[in-house]
Structures are given as C-alpha cells and as structure tokens.
Amino acid sequence: MMAVREIRRGRADDIPALIDILWRGMHEGAVPRYSAQQCRAWMPVRQTPESYAIRLAGQAVFVAELDGVPTGFMTLRGDGCVDFAYVVPEARGTGTADALLAMLVNHARISGIGTLTARASDMARPFFARHGWTAIASAPQVRDGVMTPATDMTLPLAA
C-alpha cells in the first residue's frame, strides 16, 4: 500500500505530537548544525501540552501526516510571522516541509497578509531561501548564555 501524506489544519489533540516533533527537531534534527550545548539552551525541557496550547493560541497551525501520523508542522501568527517550522528528522527531503509551506503561504494570501517573516535557524535558512525568502539581518539568539545563530527573513506575497 502506498503511503498517504496529508496537510491539514491543526487540532487541539495534535498538541502532544507537535511537542514531540519540536523536541525531536531540536535534539535530533539540529545536531548537524548545532552543538549539544546550543540544543539544550534552545530547548532545555519539553513543553507541557497546556503551555504549548497557550503559545499556539490564535495561530494558524498546519500539520503534515503520513498514514495518519504527524510528521511536521508550521504555524503562522496573524502578523505574518512563521513562528514554528519543524519536521521529524526522517521526513527531511521528502517534500513534507515544502507542502507545509505551500499551504501556509496559500492561507496567508487568502487572509490578506502581504508579507511573511521568519526568524530562521541555520537549519531552516537554506529551506526558506530556496522558496524565495530574502535574508534581512543576522539575528543571533542568546538563551542561558549560549548564542545560537539565526537570520531574520522575509517573503513578500503577490497581491
């Protein structure tokens, strides 16, 4: 049987899976570009479902599933900022992130958002650039005294 990938809007019952995707993205997927110290500083503990639900409240959440199992997600704030963009390490290079971004961009256009922004990690910056985003400025993040490189990026949307 062929695997079925679906991109859909997030639901409240997705929160535990999204936390797992986020955690794995930081502590497994980011390993090629970040030190263990940077990964721990960026995300020292897993979010609780309650705290993460509050963080995502008011955002458009898009979830990728493969045969019913969430494999990635992206979120869009009302101001056009892509807040989260993560896929599980084994979904990299499968088109999952591309499909999520396409859905998110389509939603932004329909919602009348003229420009998207993101603070992209070194892992995400090449992905966004491949999709036409422009680097605006270096935006290193410091958490627990540890610096992690990042870049502010933007994508103007056609009217």
What is the set of domains in the chain, with CATH numbers? 5-156 (3.40.630.30)
pLDDT at res. 56: 96
pLDDT at res. 2: 44
Q: Could you tell me the pLDDT band of residue 1, with boundaries at 50, 70 and 90?
A: very low
Give 95: exposed, middle or buried? Use CB within 10 Å, 0-12, 13-18, 19+: exposed
Q: What are phi and psi of 39, to 5 degrees?
A: -65, -45
Cα torsion 38, 132, 155, 92: sign: negative
pLDDT digits (tens, 9 = 90+) for 23-43: 998 888 777 778 888 878 878
pLDDT at res. 3: 59
**Helix 15-24 to helix 49-56 angle, to the nearest 10 degrees?**
90
Higher local confidence (pLDDT), 41 or 87: 87
